[in-house]
Amino acid sequence: MRIRRLYDDLTGRTHHRALEALRGQLGKAIDGVSLTARMVRGEIGPAEARAEMVDVEHDGDSLRAVLVGELSTALTTPIDREDLYRLSRSVDDVLDNLRDLVRETDLYGALPDTADSEILAAVAEGLALLQTAIGSVSRRPAEVTMTTLAVRKCAGRVRQLYQMAVAKLFEQELSTDLLKRRELLRRLDVVGLRLGECADTLSDAMLKRSH
């Protein structure tokens, strides 16, 4: 078995499997954004979105498990092993917070706000850029650093939109609905923070790889 693992490492098969699992995990996070966006647009109700999110999260967790399994047995990895693990964990955090957003919208009996579509679009763009970057790690590493900067901008856009939404919210009189809305906006802000962590981790990993 060890000889087989060594052969896979030397031929790049292990690297391919690890990166594909991470790309797949990012894909599930994008699915989570899409599902959440359907909810905020009123295409599906919070309860239905919550039920569908269970499957999306399960698939994401399964792909993370595949990646962790590869990292535990691989002799070499395409980028630093710890950074790959951290990146996967941050992607998982993005999906977990989207799950919590959908769940809390349902639990609070809150009305989804279509204004959140713009924030979710920025998150989706950032995740898609990360997918592209992961696909370029082995073949075009120089492009990865530039792409992570674009992901960082998406995360910054989420923070900016969040701040604008909170400022608008504070113009209203205090009410239960306002407090619910504040909690949900904070959840979106955390999604953006985790997206930024993804970009920072990949950027750090590529810097180490270049040395």
- Which one, of 98, 125, 111, lies nearest residue 35 by Cα? 98
As a whole number of angstroms, the distance between CA 180 and CA 147 comes to: 35
- The pLDDT assigned to 14 comes to 53
Which residues span the domain enclosing 195? 2-210
Quote the Cα angle for 133-102-43, to 5°. 90
**For the chain, what is the total number of helices (H) and then of strands (E)?**
7, 0
Tokens of 20: 């594909």
Q: What is the mean pLDDT of residues 189-209?
A: 94
Quote the Cα angle for 148-150-155, to 5°. 90
- The pLDDT assigned to 66 comes to 94
As a whole number of angstroms, the distance between CA 7 and CA 45 comes to: 50
CA distances 105 to 60, 96, 116, Å, are 21, 14, 13
Residues 19-65: pLDDT tens digits? 999 999 999 999 999 999 999 999 999 999 999 999 999 999 999 99
Split into its structural domains, the chain has a count of 1
Q: pTM score, two decimals? A: 0.90
Q: What is the DSSP secondary-structure string of 31-66?
A: HHHHHHHHHHTTSS-HHHHHHHHHHHHHHHHHHHHH
CATH of the domain at 145: 1.20.58.220
Q: What is the DSSP letter of 173?
A: P
pLDDT at 2 over 70: no
As a whole number of angstroms, the distance between CA 118 and CA 25 comes to: 23
Q: How far is CA 73 from the centre of its chain?
A: 25
